[in-house]
Amino acid sequence: MPGMPSGGAGPSGAAGAGGRLVSIGTVLNLLREEFPEVTISKIRFLEAEGLVEPQRTPSGYRKFSERDVERLGQVLRLQRDHYLPLKVIKEHLDALARGERVRLPAPARPLDGGEAGPRTAVDAAAEVPSAPRTAARIGRAELLGAAGVTEAELAEWESYGLIAAHPDGGFDADCVALARLVADLGRFGLEPRHLRAMKAAADRQAGLVEQVVAPLRRHRNPQTRAHAEATARELAALSVRLHAALLRSALQARGR
């Protein structure tokens, strides 16, 4: 990890027992080189979830080893690149620590299959998973920690219908990416009330997709119902790409 005080191994190796320990403030500065939005609250949340176990001084202060800093970096990277729930990340890292070989979904790539180049916000928004999402849900506290947002922010977004919990209080894993996007837009001055139009447009698009696939979903043949889900995903991907293309075109026209 760049900037780690001497006395431990580099990013490719773990710190030894005599490695120098650092405070949570130093850890924050080290992580912010790659993760500028990480906060002390997020680090404490990851500790509470068992993702990292720093040592404690007799007075109760946290002290992190280089191994701890590397593990935090891995957790944040897996959240950012794979949008995995913390429970899955913990299981993955624990398996690696036991020497087991584990496979993860590949990071998001361009939809056309080309080489990844410089990405814009519009390009990122156009990426839609080609495989079905799992039914796994995450809790409210886990969503807050994974997205790096506050309870007040989440409550406001819920009041505008941008994010919604299931009746059991859980959230789909997609809500992590959604919360991050809403937070990113907020840094440009776009408030939840400004985003209601985007939510309404998404609901209308979902309605159009549903009109196409509803007859297939009602079919008795399981293969036909499976085809309905594949069709829905393909239509969603095409819709997002069309929206991104239209937005790029509109921005270019305004810049002329």
Which domains does the chain possess? 24-97 (1.10.1660.10), 133-190 (no CATH), 195-256 (no CATH)
Whether the CA torsion 16, 19, 22, 28 is positive or negative: it is negative
The amino acid at residue 250 is A
Write b or e for each residue in 81-99: b if 16 or more Cβ atoms lie within 10 A of its Cβ, otherwise e: eebbbbebbbebbeeeeee
The pTM score is 0.48
Q: Which of 138, 70, 139 is nearest to 78 (CA)?
A: 70
To the nearest 10°, report the CA torsion of 203, 208, 212, 218.
Answer: 40
Q: What is the pLDDT along the chain (256 residues), one digit of tens a residue?
A: 544 443 333 333 334 334 789 999 999 999 998 888 888 888 988 998 889 999 999 988 999 999 999 999 999 988 888 777 788 888 888 888 888 877 765 554 433 344 444 444 444 444 444 334 444 688 899 888 888 889 999 999 999 999 999 888 899 888 988 998 898 888 889 899 999 898 898 889 889 989 888 888 888 877 777 778 878 888 888 888 888 888 888 888 887 6
